[in-house]
Structure 1
């Protein structure tokens, strides 16, 4: 990391005008942990803006917990992050916030053993005071391998729809992401019970992100384990059946994306405008650095999986290690068919061959989240070098300029 980059990243939570850009506001958030990753934003009805993410030593380690920071309405500084999960035996990851119609605030997140995503379960807490205090930690889904990343959608009929993905493995093998699939959970009783509907032929399509279009159609966009393209799917029956995911023209690098419907009906997407084409390096998996009693067998298993797939020609191997940069925001005016307006929020080499934040080698911009508030401001947050969460505020006009 250059000295210029170091000096520019003042992690104090204070809003500042970006250098040479009066239309862009920025801030850096942190938990005072070594690693900070996978943020999600939520505007509250009172004008506050919340941000949650996970932090600790390193993704997959049991000291990873969920943290929350708040930007109070009218203020110029994000609050000090507070820890809002509590399990010293599991890595707690991928938090999302949901402002239920009854005014209660939900926090949902995953909890897994070590780097084994196929052991993940989904937990939740509920707040009745906009996140200042929280009720007990409870389990929402206990099926091992259940993962979340994207927000709950309230359908026009009042039902709640939560996209999930399942991390599956073959018997005796370590999770690598090759067999992950997507589904949706739907509740008609405010989260007490859920029905599940699988997305057909969705192997490799994860982080399903859903928005309601003006005509009632549900549009889903997916991260691709194959690091080729963003994929899309639609539903016209309130999420019960989905079209088979198909690749869009937008690239994906096997890293998270997020999009939102703007106040005027346009769509805004944040993503890494990059895929695995021409990548010469490849990681074994997301967690190949985690050293434990299984480390040698883990790597052997993963390497075996990749070689078997190459030799047999059956199945596909998840691609890990593609650069996670630039961080790009795009606008669509035709329900996601085309994205003619694009602008980079961050540019760099996106080095993502390591998740180790202690040595500060990672240079990724990743796992973006995007929301718009009634005043028209577009709020974005994303992982900055896995050391902090960067917050950026712009307008649709800024993107199109």
Structure 2
């Protein structure tokens, strides 16, 4: 044997070398962070707020939001949309998605159902008060064209009719939430007020509207989170036949728990995270359902996640992680964060900020989040810059950010 000749690798050694190389390469790929962001359109003085984003079956991104000279007080408010076609680096010019002439259309959300129909859900504000909201929805099977709005196949009103003895449900759940404080005069007054509201048929049937993505369960049931500013609590609209018929959950009653967003646990439990419009401490508010959204547990404060009285979104990723996008403080909307949980919301070990500014610089809020077919996360949110470096007013827009899991986990 020639001692100067290199000793050949055995098959086992060669295999080990290849496997080690693949592991190292895979780790390097997984460790690479990715984040990009851009405005859907230049900042403007018009009010642009309350966005939602979906990915279409052809890979396009579709966003919607409401736009006008104000919110419920202005009659020129409409739902606008924009599309980012697959492979494009820019968003289309905004186009009209819904417009009720002479009435404000607000708080829109979208979902694509198992039959690949696009849903747009939103309220028309009938008397310039949130309490006068009338829920509507549209569906489309033709929404992937490169230009212009979807071609709508159907538009309908989502009439809210509560099951059972709604006033008694409201009263019982309010007392359960109050606990030992139920004997105080303030709580007694609150319970009496919302019970009287619930006893009025018109009051309990209007004023409900959307904010976050609906949730579609494995069996096709769709849960649409609704809330009322008049009652300052939430409930769920349920359809098992993709909108042909609707039922409604019992009310989810707490101290200002509105704008529910959902995720489902491995055991089937559905968890709702809600905006906190109640008294301090300001936390994300939580309720759970073990019967596919029909009844809900007592509303509680989340032990970790703050909320200043601002919209949020919760989602379950395909690998089982949960993500929450929210204003991570108890006061103000100048910090917008995304947090990730590996144990279905028990702990949230990693957080990254989409925006982190001084309180007088801007507001960044009402986020919407999805996971695309490549495993990237997309968030749209209201992007309000109050003043520039010279103290001049700047404007409002909708911002889109896309990032991967590694970008969030770099904080873990």
Q: Establish whether TM, by shorter chain, passes 0.5.
A: yes
Q: How does 1:7-22 map to 2 (within 5 A)?
A: none
| Aligned-partner Cα distance in 2 for 1:33–1:134 | 30
* Equivalent residue in structure 2 for 1:132, among 150, 174, 185: 150
| Aligned-partner Cα distance in 2 for 1:196–1:132 | 28
Gaps of 5+ in 2: 1-31, 144-148, 161-204, 385-394
CA contact (8 A) 2:33 2:407 kept: no
Alpha-carbon RMSD: 1.9
Please name the residue that 1:163 is paired with. 225
Q: How does 1:185-264 map to 2 (within 5 A)?
A: 185-226=237-278, 228-248=282-302, 249-264=304-319
| Aligned-partner Cα distance in 2 for 1:57–1:102 | 36
Q: Are residues 1:35 and 2:33 paired? A: no
CA contact (8 A) 1:89 1:113 kept: no
**Structure of greater Rg:** 2
| Pair 208,335 (structure 1): closer, same or farther in 2 beyond 3 Å | same
TM-aligned CA deviation for residue 167 of structure 1: 2.8
Please name the residue that 1:326 is paired with. 335
| Aligned-partner Cα distance in 2 for 1:390–1:324 | 15
| Aligned-partner Cα distance in 1 for 2:33–2:270 | 36
In terms of mean alpha carbon deviation, does 391-400 or 113-122 score higher? 113-122
TM-aligned CA deviation for residue 114 of structure 1: 5.3
Between structures 1 and 2, the one with greater helix share: 2
What per-residue deviation string (whole Å, max 9, x for no partner) do you get for residues 186-232 of structure 1?
A: 11221122111124433410111012222211111000102610011
CA contact (8 A) 2:33 2:404 kept: no
Q: Report the TM-score when normalising by structure 1.
A: 0.75
Please name the residue that 2:379 is paired with. 380
| Aligned-partner Cα distance in 2 for 1:152–1:346 | 25
CA contact (8 A) 1:33 1:56 kept: no
Please name the residue that 1:274 is paired with. 329
In terms of mean alpha carbon deviation, does 71-80 or 136-145 score higher? 136-145
Please name the residue that 1:70 is paired with. 83
In the TM superposition, structure 1's runs of 4+ consecutive aligned residues that sit over 3 Å from their partners are 30-33
| Aligned-partner Cα distance in 1 for 2:255–2:343 | 27
SS in 2 for 1:397: helix
Please name the residue that 1:23 is paired with. 34
TM-aligned CA deviation for residue 161 of structure 1: 1.3
| Aligned-partner Cα distance in 2 for 1:371–1:101 | 16
| Pair 341,238 (structure 1): closer, same or farther in 2 beyond 3 Å | same
Q: Are residues 1:111 and 2:173 paired? A: no
Q: How does 1:340-351 map to 2 (within 5 A)?
A: 340-351=349-360
Paired residues in the alignment total: 315
Q: Report the TM-score when normalising by structure 2.
A: 0.73
* Equivalent residue in structure 1 for 2:56, among 44, 50, 63: 44
Please name the residue that 2:207 is paired with. 145
CA contact (8 A) 2:213 2:368 kept: no
CA contact (8 A) 1:233 1:245 kept: yes
